[in-house]
Amino acid sequence: MAKSRRSPQRRKEALSRESIIGASIELLDSTGEAGLTFSALSEHLATGAGAIYWHIANRNDLLVAACDAIIARTMGEHVVRATPRETIRELATRMFDAMDAHPWVGAVLVRVAGQLPMVRIFERIGQQVRALGVPGDKQWVAVSAILNYILGVGGQNAANAQFASVQGLDRAKFLDEVSTAWSQLAPDQYPFARSVAGHMRTHDDRVDFIAGIDLILNGIRS
Amino acid sequence: MAKSRRSPQRRKEALSRESIIGASIELLDSTGEAGLTFSALSEHLATGAGAIYWHIANRNDLLVAACDAIIARTMGEHVVRATPRETIRELATRMFDAMDAHPWVGAVLVRVAGQLPMVRIFERIGQQVRALGVPGDKQWVAVSAILNYILGVGGQNAANAQFASVQGLDRAKFLDEVSTAWSQLAPDQYPFARSVAGHMRTHDDRVDFIAGIDLILNGIRS
DNA sequence: ACCTGAACACCGTTCAAGT
DNA sequence: ACCTGAACACCGTTCAAGT
């Protein structure tokens, strides 16, 4: 009110690490990992390309920060489950859903070994593995098995999503194509791949993912 | 002999897809994934950059082909083991060793869902899971669990190797640094990560990897 | 302290021209 | 048919100059 003049739509608020990360996530969700360029990002933020470097170190830093923002959200919310086993299932399912909603997360996650986003997941699952009563010297292997399985699935999902989007196919169409390709492999060399080609066409990724978690949990128990 | 003149050292034989893939693998092993550029590769092959495109479609095609060459070698050799379980352990161990010797393979592998290199591994493990007596409708989940675990570990190893090489550290020094970082996390937020920080410093990746495979195999049996 | 935007070095890919 | 190498479009990052 005191201000005599305001631009009709304030074009931007002060740039900040948070606003940059937020814009990056939007960009990553809509255009994939390759879509996160400094020119697209600076346009999105109505600023110069170089300005971004005042707040972040480099592109990789930005990618990890964006990934960590998703993971912090995903792992942050409280879990209300009766048993450690159910809690682990819940956490794993959340991870699946997060990587499904943001396919680039899976791809980034597999390259940030030992860094913050991974530690968050590791910690959360680790506490439950401990609560499960797994002896101390077996906890590392148990948690690693669950975590690496999640990362593997995440990477694959990211690859599927990227491959499908490059070809302009939706997910179902894409899986259908892969399934067809597998069913046409040489019968003497690829009998197993052929035999499960049909399953790939009809299966529910999410259900199979959780079945895999259950399988590993059974292995942990024994 | 009929030839009047030969260049003292024939600078190159005819370019071929195979020779390009071979040179790519050398380059990838020595300089990592970022080191595979068309300028480095064409220099290595004593040819022009554009010539390579006569034999391969693009950089990604080349990366997948290089990866597949390693996987074909790794999965190709015959396994002489008494039981399906031992055979799976052997195949998984080979994968670990291959990804350890060629860290870029893990990174490439997680992005080629459904394509040839992955199908090779899938098939090989699938046949053994079938031999294990797993019922038909559970085979997909069982194989996926093993495969995704391997991919997860491979991705992590690739990330570790790349991170370590960027910082000019050897693997042991690098793990030592991560271990120290984990042990300094906030005790109330990261009790589990802190508790296993010591294990990370001393553990044998390969041994723990196989322990994870055994854990999954136990889950499959139950 | 924070931002601008031109400049730099480098990259994958294309393509007219050669053999 | 296969190769050359200059040209193109694009990228992450830097930095002198502004406010």
What is residue B16's predicted lDDT score, i.e. its pLDDT?
A: 96
Across A124-135, average pLDDT: 97
Q: Within a domain: residue B25?
A: no
Long-range CB pairs of B188-197 (<8 Å, 24+ gap) are B189/A123, B190/A119, B190/A123, B191/A123, B191/A127, B192/A122, B192/A123, B192/A126, B192/A127, B192/A130, B192/A139, B192/A143, B193/A119, B193/A122, B193/A123, B193/A126, B195/A126, B195/A136, B195/A139, B196/A126, B196/A139, B196/A140, B196/A143
* Across A41-55, A132-146, A165-179, B118-132, least confident range: A165-179
CA of A52 to C1' of D11 (A): 15
Residue B10 pLDDT grade (very low, low, confident, very high; cuts 50, 70, 90): very low
Nucleotides on strand C lying under 7 Å from protein C-beta: 2-7, 10-16
What is residue A33's predicted lDDT score, i.e. its pLDDT?
A: 95
CA of A39 to C1' of D9 (A): 14
| DSSP H stretches of helix in B45-135 | 59-76, 84-101, 103-109, 116-131
Nearest residue on chain A to B127, alpha-carbon basis: A192
pTM over 0.85: yes
Q: Within a domain: residue A166?
A: yes
Residue A4 pLDDT grade (very low, low, confident, very high; cuts 50, 70, 90): very low
How close A102 comes to chain B (CA, Å)? 16
Q: Within a domain: residue A158?
A: yes
Angle between helices A171-183 and A136-166 (to 10 degrees): 100
Tell whether the model's pLDDT for residue A167 goes beyond 80.
no
In contact, A86 and A199? CB cutoff 8 Å: no
Question: What letter does residue A13 receive in the DSSP assignment?
Answer: P
Average model confidence (pLDDT) across chain A: 92
What is residue A11's predicted lDDT score, i.e. its pLDDT?
A: 42
Q: Which domain holds residue B184?
A: 80-221
Whether A148 sits inside 8 A of B144 (CB atoms) is: no
What is residue B49's predicted lDDT score, i.e. its pLDDT?
A: 92
Q: Within a domain: residue A17?
A: no
How close B28 comes to chain A (CA, Å)? 17
Q: Which one of A215, A216, A221 would you mutate to disrupt binding with B, by most B Cβ within 10 Å of its Cβ? A: A215
Tell whether the model's pLDDT for residue A169 goes beyond 80.
no
> A193 at the B interface (CB within 8 A)?
yes
Of A140, A193, A212, Cβ closest to residue B196:
A140
What is residue B5's predicted lDDT score, i.e. its pLDDT?
A: 32
Tell whether the model's pLDDT for residue A3 goes beyond 90.
no
Classify residue A111 as exposed, middle or buried by CB count within 10 Å of its CB (0-12, 13-18, 19+): buried
B115: CATH: 1.10.357.10
B18 Cβ within 7 A of any nucleic strand D atom: no
Angle between helices A191-202 and A171-183 (to 10 degrees): 160
Across A169-191, average pLDDT: 91
Say how far apart CA B109 and CA B121 lie, in whole Å: 11
Q: Within a domain: residue A100?
A: yes
Rg over alpha carbons for chain A, rounded to the nearest Å, is 21
Tell whether the model's pLDDT for residue A10 goes beyond 80.
no
Whether A191 sits inside 8 A of B156 (CB atoms) is: no
Between residues B169 and A150, the one the model is more confident about: A150
> A191 at the B interface (CB within 8 A)?
yes
Nearest residue on chain B to A219, alpha-carbon basis: B219
> B207 at the A interface (CB within 8 A)?
no
Tell whether the model's pLDDT for residue B2 goes beyond 60.
no
Whether A126 sits inside 8 A of B192 (CB atoms) is: yes
Q: Which residues of A fall within a CB distance of 8 Å from B142? A: 215
Across A107-130, average pLDDT: 96
Looking at the C1' of nucleotide C15, which residue has the nearest alpha carbon? Answer: B50
Q: Within a domain: residue B196?
A: yes
* Across A28-32, A171-175, B49-53, least confident range: A171-175
Residue A165 pLDDT grade (very low, low, confident, very high; cuts 50, 70, 90): confident
Q: Within a domain: residue B11?
A: no
What is residue A67's predicted lDDT score, i.e. its pLDDT?
A: 98
Q: Within a domain: residue A7?
A: no
Q: Write the pLDDT tens digit of every residue in A62-105.
A: 999 999 999 999 999 999 988 999 999 999 999 999 999 999 99
Between residues B154 and A173, the one the model is more confident about: B154
Q: Write the pLDDT tens digit of every residue in B145-177.
A: 999 999 999 999 999 888 888 777 787 888 899
Identify nearest nucleotide to residue A59 by CA to C1′ distance: D12
Query: What is the count of structural domains for chain B?
Result: 1
Rg over alpha carbons for chain B, rounded to the nearest Å, is 21
B50 Cβ within 7 A of any nucleic strand C atom: yes
Q: Write the pLDDT tens digit of every residue in A201-219.
A: 999 999 999 999 999 999 9
Nearest residue on chain A to B199, alpha-carbon basis: A140
